[in-house]
Amino acid sequence: MTTVAVRHQVADYDTWKLGYDGHGVVRKEFGCTGEMLLRDASDPSEILVLTFWPTPADAQAFATDPRLAQIMEKAGVISEPRIEVYEEASS
């Protein structure tokens, strides 16, 4: 399994969440199998999104899709997003 971690700051969480939810169709189109939303305990405008993917190629295709940058801007992301792709490590 592959995990994409996206961290950024938003102007307004409720506005951002509407945009995030609306973009769910695109995540599924690229093969997203699950997600987790987290807010920084000391700064609720700082968001960490974890999404789960079958392969690194699926995750990378989503992370570089131009629609992602467009929806982030429209939803009020106010910082440069930090996007990282992780593969599950064997124990």
In the prediction, which pLDDT does 73 show? 93
35-65 pLDDT, tens digit each: 999 999 999 999 999 999 999 999 999 999 9
- Domains of the chain are 2-87 (3.30.70.100)
User: Around 32, how many Cα atoms within 13 Å sit in the side-chain half-sphere?
Assistant: 18
Across 10-91, the runs of DSSP E, i.e. the strands, are 34-39, 46-53, 82-87
- pTM assigned to the model: 0.91
